[in-house]
């Protein structure tokens, strides 16, 4: 069983920046998504005929209906929904990337020890923390853009002592949101990786299938939960009109 | 007791105790969701979305405990 490392293992140096295996895998996931979606979307017709268009439109409308159910705004021409859908698809594909056959087993031999070349991007706390910070920053930025600078008086309220304390608690709660977003996604994907490493070292073949099924399910649910929570927080921030 | 065995104990206790609370919380959540669906079957999809959201919040606490357990063992 290859050693489980909480940190992402560095692969090589590029112009002075250390490239880890999760950065490499993340770039691969993004490139694969871009290439497949751009090439396939050229052939999209008004009456869908190909299987890919049907499946993709099903996913898009399913997530869009969730978005409409929370924000009460149409998703079809919404820039915000495009951003949130990109986050959802990126997290989903990153979670499922860790289940591919060559991930975790293809090794690079450097400096005497071996390092897995590919690793699920969301199993790295840096990636999930970045996604969490983006979500919380976008939420607050939308709150300011819709409500003006009066939105910031939610946090710093000098009217009365008790309002000030409540504002401080709101600020702490925002930091709690960043932590909880990042640790929920990181914990689920990393624990899934550890589970799969242990199970594949204990049994083999068909007996590992239920655990792969569990990982597929958990990856989908975590991407969905990230999307839903971000949407809910945005709808709360924007509703202060 | 050497560090290694203390680490094993700490890891087991961390995740063992840490998943008690979220399990009870999720049970309460799902039970009240099922009750309200039984009372009002038309609102099922709204209730289901909110239930999944609530379960994700409760589950996150168990994940914190799991991350602490993994840090104890592997760092």
User: pLDDT of A130-176, one tens digit each?
Assistant: 999 999 999 999 999 988 888 888 888 888 888 888 888 989 989 98
**Angstrom distance (rounded) from CA A70 to CA A88:** 16
pLDDT (0 to 100) of residue A240: 64
Residue-range domain boundaries for chain A: 10-238
Residue-range domain boundaries for chain B: 3-74
Query: What is the DSSP code string of B10-60?
Result: HHHHHHHHHTHHHHHHHHHHHHHHHHHHHH-GGGHHHHHHHHHHHHHHHHH
Could you tell me if B43 lies within 8 Å of chain A, comparing CB atoms?
no
Give A36 to chain B, closest Cα distance, Å. Answer: 30
* Residues facing residue A20 across a β-bridge: A10
**Angstrom distance (rounded) from CA A177 to CA A229:** 10
Q: For the CA atoms of chain B, what is the radius of gyration? A: 17
User: pLDDT of B3-39, one tens digit each?
Assistant: 899 999 999 999 999 999 999 999 999 999 999 999 9
Instruction: Tell if the CB–CB gap between A191 and B53 is shorter than 8 Å.
Output: no
Cβ(A234)–Cβ(A71) below 8 Å: yes
Give B43 to chain A, closest Cα distance, Å. Answer: 12
pLDDT, mean over chain B: 90
Instruction: Tell if the CB–CB gap between A183 and B63 is shorter than 8 Å.
Output: yes
| pTM: predicted TM-score of the whole model, two decimal places | 0.89
Which phi and psi (to 5°) does residue A61 adopt?
A: -75, -30
pLDDT (0 to 100) of residue A1: 61
Task: Calculate the CA A148 to chain-centre distance.
Answer: 29
User: pLDDT of A172-220, one tens digit each?
Assistant: 989 989 999 999 999 999 999 989 988 988 888 889 999 999 999 999 9
Neighbour-count burial of A158, counting CB atoms closer than 10 A to its CB (0-12 exposed, 13-18 middle, 19+ buried): exposed
- Model confidence at A84, pLDDT cuts 50, 70, 90, reads very high
Q: In the numeric block, which tokens belong to residue A99?
A: 């289940």
Has residue B46 got a pLDDT over 90? no
Mean pLDDT score, A57-69? 93
Instruction: Tell if the CB–CB gap between B67 and A4 is shorter than 8 Å.
Output: no
pLDDT, mean over chain A: 89
Sign of CA dihedral A152, A179, A226, A19: positive
Has residue A20 got a pLDDT over 80? yes
In chain A, pLDDT over 70 holds for what percent of residues?
Answer: 98
User: B63 contacts in A (CB within 8 Å)?
Assistant: 183-184, 187-188, 191
Could you tell me if B70 lies within 8 Å of chain A, comparing CB atoms?
yes
Assign residue A15 a region (left: φ > 0; alpha: ψ between -120 and 50; beta: otherwise). left
Has residue B75 got a pLDDT over 90? no
Instruction: Tell if the CB–CB gap between A180 and B49 is shorter than 8 Å.
Output: no
- Model confidence at A4, pLDDT cuts 50, 70, 90, reads confident
pLDDT (0 to 100) of residue A46: 83
Superfamily the domain B3-74 falls into: F1F0 ATP synthase subunit C (1.20.20.10)
User: A6 contacts in B (CB within 8 Å)?
Assistant: 70-71, 74-75
Instruction: Tell if the CB–CB gap between A191 and B70 is shorter than 8 Å.
Output: yes
């Amino acid at each position: 069983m290859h050693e489980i490392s909480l940190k992402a293992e560095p692969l090589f140096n590029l112009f002075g920046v250390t490239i880890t295996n999760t950065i490499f895998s993340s770039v691969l996931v993004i490139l694969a998504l871009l290439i497949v979606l751009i090439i396939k979307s050229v052939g999209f017709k008004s009456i869908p005929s190909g299987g890919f268009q049907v499946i993709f439109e099903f996913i898009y409308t399913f997530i869009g209906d969730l978005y409409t159910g929370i924000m009460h705004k149409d998703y079809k021409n919404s820039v915000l929904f495009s951003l949130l859908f990109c986050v959802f698809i990126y997290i989903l594909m990153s979670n499922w990337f860790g289940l591919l056959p060559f991930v975790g087993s293809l090794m690079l031999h450097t400096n005497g020890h071996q390092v897995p070349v590919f690793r699920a991007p969301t199993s790295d706390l840096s990636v999930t923390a970045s996604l969490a910070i983006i979500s919380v920053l976008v939420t607050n930025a939308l709150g300011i853009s819709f409500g003006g600078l009066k939105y910031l008086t939610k946090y710093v309220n000098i009217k009365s002592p008790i309002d000030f304390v409540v504002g401080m608690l709101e600020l702490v709660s925002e930091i709690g949101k960043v932590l909880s977003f990042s640790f929920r996604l990181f914990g689920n994907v990393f624990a899934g990786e550890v589970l799969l490493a242990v199970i594949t070292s204990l049994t083999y073949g068909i007996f590992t299938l239920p655990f792969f099924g569990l990982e597929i399910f958990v990856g989908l649910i975590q991407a969905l939960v990230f999307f839903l929570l971000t949407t809910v927080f945005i709808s709360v921030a924007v509703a202060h009109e | 007791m050497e560090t290694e065995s203390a680490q094993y104990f700490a890891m087991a206790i961390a995740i063992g105790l840490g998943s008690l609370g979220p399990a009870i919380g999720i049970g309460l959540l799902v039970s009240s969701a099922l009750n309200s669906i039984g009372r009002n079957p038309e609102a099922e999809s709204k209730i289901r979305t909110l239930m999944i959201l609530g379960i994700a919040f409760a589950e996150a606490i168990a994940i914190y405990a799991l991350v602490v357990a993994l840090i104890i063992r592997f760092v």
